[in-house]
Chain A
């Protein structure tokens, strides 16, 4: 037996390795290294943090361009948020993928040509249809010098492929329509649909490609131009914007004091055109903002002279004075602000203007130099799949499962949720099994009697009722109406017991029917065996036959059942946990699946397979204990 156990223990790591390999493959298929990095270091992380993490993990290695870029971003010379890193595999694979789409479109073109000849569509019609579509798509007519030149450019050539096929399919459809052949129309519809999908996918990929390449070009441009120039230009631009905004505010504040009447006089007497324009602007502002205290005061005097109520006017005057005072204070501050900003701008202007000029010139230069995608250099390469798997494996063996989407460590979530789940499912399972075995024996004892029939009927009845319905009924009737149990809730420690009794009871009831059916059949099956007849013939009592012989032999199928069920107990029971607010793993797992929380799912799968293997081994040992005929060798 010892040798057997040892052998099984030696197999275990390999099985586990297989499971981990499967999860690894699923992980690679459903996520990128970048998204995996985010699941460890948080969703809101910068590109640099992601690639730092991937580099530390050994999942990428930098090229010289990449290193140069990192240095530039670290020194603040390259705008970090817009800096994005381009993978070698992306640069290499995307053109191939795009080409595959174009090849497929070309092959479709051949098929369509065959169909056209089958349908006996004339060459002139085809030409006309293609010419029309090309015109609609904004492509030059076929055969023209312009078209020949345009064909040199890859994208135009590819657009042509799609346009030609599209035109031909439309023509085919029109022909089929004329013939009134419904089946053909449907076939061409399908063809059109396929072609549309192909085109859309290629466009999406090409757009993504273009976006990345544009970003990479921009970065290469910045790198080529020199970082200081860029930083100065940027600084100048932002400081200048601040200055303009302060100026604008200052004008608005000054307008509070600028009397429009006086300005109008000044404007009328001014002859210089530039000054006139400036005065006009000031006048417009003054008309909008000017607060005329004198006018209000005069109105008050007049009103007083006429013995009228001046309360409202006086309040107006007070408000106006207050606004003027506030304006004065703010004007002072703004002037100081303006002075400081003007100095800054003056300092930066010269550098900035030179920088902007340099940048424009260099941009032109670089633009002419970068003419094709191939000029873009990769920043990093991904490590090969084997290294990735090694790292993945190492993380799992060190129980590093990362964080959940809610930024909690997966291990702590599993640990916290596991105990409430086990508190529910362990006693529920063992009690249910105990009762199941008892009723199995009971049914065997009273086989072919009314008691046996009533057991069968009740078990079928319970199996027919939906588990959720039983839970809802049990909760309402036993907890809410009869007050035997708390309706819902959970507590830590021993206090949890009172909250768990009803869910445990309901678990037993829900699984009762299926268990009894199984156990009864297993027991009855044994009852009909020869050894049972022999035992009875020997004159052994029914109790001895039942408990000593039959029961022992039924243990093998029972142990097999347990081996399957026990490992998943730690996952709890989703519905019961949900209805009774038990903070277990069942709900968390479903939640994780719904939210695509890959780290939690991975941990659950790995722990599930470990516990399953252990349970399997234990069940093998138990076979040998239960049945001396079983030899573990």
Chain B
């Protein structure tokens, strides 16, 4: 026993030493990967839906993009977002007179192998089936994709109570009527199969605007000109799904993806990991070339940058897609472990959270430590806007309050120091927002700059005083009093998160509002609760944001279009007849046609004049994305926030990963030995005392 006790420190050391062998280090991963190209990334949570017609959030869209495909995609190498065929064999023909698009589909597209192609396979209860490695034990080769699948998918998007229908709502002839009829049949079937009527209707009813021509051709007739239509169907909502799969998996379809894309989901461990592997049946398509006309055209005037880019990505041209054999997504909720894993080479790519900013970025570039590791920083403007929307139906800040409400909205917009906000809370990753159209999107013009969206608290106080409010106070602390009620002007703002970061942002707004004498009451809530209240339209102000779905100003300007009022996306309930009219005139105009673009710009300017006067939003900022990448990863040469199907082009090198990471895995045993000795000292002392006594 005594001998054993004496050996215990040694035993401890042996146990600790054994921990470091093969414990998920980058080099051990690289050895595991062998010659395979494996991309390792992280997600902050599981995707909510792997059903393209329901995927509304970024994580879900990214994962549905791994296996579901749309007719078109954004070209991977162009400088500006440009649509090119994906499942389509060519760009569609469009008959302007009849408003009809005719789509041609490739004839070599096959759905992924899956058990759904064998309807008689044993075991119907997939709901409780093991979701681990044995996810698809009875799979068999999928069938070819035809135009009928697209017709079914468009109808399904309409018939489902999906949040994504808005992208084509009111645009395709007969589809809205079809949707209303289908929705009225939801759950109205017999008790043993409540969705029978709905399903039968979906499968049999036709839509006058969607026509089957042959197995590889179909047409879609619009109700009015909708130049954004191709962008709209390039979102995941336009992806093709197979009816067999939908019916086979039923309500579990959202977690059993069966697509046509480059990857198949081989493992999904909730809250842990999603593994996508190369789809062996994926058609033979190649990495594009920089010599394509369409690419060259978009790089005109940027020849030097193109030459640089070509050096890095040119080697991939002609390679069969997908380049990666496996894409491993680890679910890591906290920013620190994600960043540390990235630093150790366990992840190929990492965002930069506010907490980790100082350890990653110094003076706009990566820190020397990261630089030494070959890590590089990619910065790009994301087409997003952060704003506070005022509920225009509210009796205090909205239209019912007349000039007084308008004064509050304007004063709030004038009291925010946006540059200070970006510096303090975003580590300079943003640009003050001064109009609805973000940078690098057609329709953004210097003339649109909204004068109310600047930092001028003095002007804010004047606006309030002119509207009849009494202003008292000094410095940064004023009180605006309503002479009627003798109360301080007070507004409440709903925030969509309960995190401390949101509390800090909310406190910033409170302190800004003091400069014009307005009291801001903040209510933080969970996202689901926030959405519920926003859809009810009962809040006073909402902290909101919008990530553009496609590169067209219409996508942003629709957020204030009257008919989109809650439960629609117009959270401000802004319903201005003239704005609505201008929007209706502007939205069918095509950016690609110079005369139309000119007219569109004029209309956007007029719309901004209305916004200047009405101020339904307080604009904060356009976001800037910072992303860190290891040298062995080749991500997109030009980041494109609209592209969710680009992972097939990504390349990585396990050998490089192993070589680099090995240097970072050296272990210094001295601290462990010292700690073990310190920790075991009391045991030694106790043993010593007991032995001595004996």
Contact = CB atoms under 8 A, between A and B. Distances in A.
A543 to B, nearest CB: 5
Interface string A563-596: 0000000000000001111010001100000111
A487 B340 contact: yes
B184 A80 contact: yes
Contacts of A327: 95, 97-98
Contact of A289 (B97, B127, B340): B97
B526 A46 contact: no
B336 A438 contact: no
A541 B692 CA distance: 11
B272 interface: yes
B25 A483 contact: yes
Q: Which of A252, A289, A482, A492 has the most CB of B within 10 A?
A: A482
Interface string A147-166: 00000000000000000000
B23 A485 contact: yes
Contacts of B486: 173, 177, 185-186, 189
Interface string B241-266: 00000000001001000000000000
Given A253-B98, A445-B689, A484-B19, A192 B132 contact: no
Contacts of B127: 409
Interface stretch (A102-110, A127-135, A471-479, A602-610): A471-479
A247 to B, nearest CB: 13
A40 B238 CA distance: 30
Interface in A169-195: 173, 177, 185-186, 189, 192
Contacts of B690: 543
A143 to B, nearest CB: 28
Contacts of B343: 480
Interface in A440-490: 441-442, 445-446, 451, 472, 475-476, 479-480, 482-490
B298 interface: no
Interface residues of A, number: 80
Contact of A482 (B95, B98, B487, B672): B672
A439 B332 contact: no
Contacts of A439: 682
Contacts of B694: 541, 543
Interface in B578-592: none
Contacts of B24: 486, 489, 498-499
Contacts of B657: none
A400 interface: no
A580 B333 CA distance: 9
A80 B341 contact: no
A249 B221 CA distance: 10
Contact of B184 (A81, A249, A409): A81
B507 interface: no
B191 interface: yes
Nearest to A579: B334
B528 A596 contact: yes
B183 A81 contact: yes
A79 B271 CA distance: 42
Contact of A46 (B132, B194, B671): B194
A384 interface: no
Interface string B317-361: 000000000000011111011101101101000000000000000
Interface in A57-74: 73-74
Interface stretch (B71-79, B229-237, B660-668): B660-668
Contact of B337 (A52, A492, A581): A581
Contacts of A587: 271, 333
B686 A323 contact: no
B487 A578 contact: no
B48 interface: yes
B97 A482 contact: no
Contact of B187 (A46, A472, A476, A579): A46
B314 interface: no
B174 interface: yes
A438 B683 contact: yes
B286 interface: no
B42 to A, nearest CB: 9
Given A49-B187, A189-B486, A442 B251 contact: no
A408 to B, nearest CB: 8
B529 interface: yes
A227 to B, nearest CB: 14
A412 interface: yes
B173 interface: yes
Nearest to A480: B340
Nearest to A204: B538
Contacts of A441: 686
A541 B693 contact: yes
B337 A580 contact: yes
A451 B337 contact: no
Nearest to B95: A326
Interface string B184-226: 1111100100100000000000001000000000000100000
How many of chain B's residues touch chain A, expressed as a range?
A: 35 or more
A476 B98 CA distance: 64
Given A488-B332, A489-B330, A238 B184 contact: no
A501 B19 contact: yes
A476 B48 contact: no
Contacts of B672: 482, 484
Contacts of A488: 330, 332, 337-338, 340-341
B122 interface: no
A489 B128 CA distance: 25
A240 to B, nearest CB: 12
B692 to A, nearest CB: 10
A89 interface: no
A480 B336 CA distance: 10
Q: Which of A441, A487, A489, A542 has the most CB of B within 10 A?
A: A487
A407 interface: yes
A252 B97 contact: yes
A50 B245 CA distance: 27
B208 A245 contact: yes
A189 B487 contact: yes
B191 A490 contact: no
A73 B23 contact: no
Given A44-B161, A445-B689, A581 B332 contact: yes
A48 interface: yes
A398 interface: no
B474 interface: no
B173 A245 contact: yes
Q: Which of A49, A541, A587 has the most CB of B within 10 A?
A: A49
Nearest to B681: A451
A246 B24 CA distance: 65
A192 B485 contact: yes
A472 B176 CA distance: 53
A49 B194 contact: yes
Given A46-B194, A492-B132, A583-B271, A479 B19 contact: no
A323 B498 CA distance: 58
Contacts of B188: 46, 48, 73-74, 76, 80
A52 B189 CA distance: 12
A483 B184 contact: no
A133 to B, nearest CB: 14
Interface in A79-110: 79-82
A527 to B, nearest CB: 15
B97 A48 contact: no
A416 interface: yes
Contacts of A326: 95
Interface string A427-444: 000000000001101100
B270 interface: yes
Instruction: Give me the 6 closest cross-chain CB pairs, A-B, nearest first.
Output: A46-B187, A583-B271, A488-B337, A49-B187, A81-B184, A480-B340
6 contacts: A177-B486, A253-B98, A445-B689, A488-B338, A490-B272, A542-B689
Given A501-B19, A542-B689, 14 more contacts: A44-B161, A45-B194, A52-B191, A189-B486, A245-B174, A451-B682, A486-B24, A499-B24, A542-B693, A543-B690, A578-B333, A581-B271, A587-B271, A596-B528
